[in-house]
Amino acid sequence: SKEVSTIKEENVNLEKTVKDLNDKLSKQEPKNNIAKEPSIKDKSNLYPIYTADTDTYKKQIDAYIYIPKE
């Protein structure tokens, strides 16, 4: 029926969204781990570089820049 087709289509779209978000998260995790490393934090000032999600216009951390404290 039409309802079943609509629900199946929505499910496919949701599964794609979940996969995309998991991919983004897996890319973000190493960046966060580096930022938490004590040796880097002690010797450098850490500044995030933001980008914007073009779908939601929310800012998200794309990378970090390290500037030595000395």
Residue-level pLDDT at 9: 92
Output the DSSP codes for 21-67: HHHHHHHHHHHHHHHH-HHHHHHEEEEEEEEE-TTT--EEEEEEEEE
- Secondary structure class of 69 (helix, strand, coil): coil
Task: Say what the pLDDT of residue 6 is.
Answer: 92
Q: How many structural domains are present in the chain?
A: 1
Range of the domain at 31: 2-68
Rg over alpha carbons for the chain, rounded to the nearest Å, is: 19
pLDDT tens for 4-51 read: 999 999 999 999 888 888 887 777 666 656 656 667 667 778 788 888
Rounded CA-CA distance 67/63 in Å is: 13
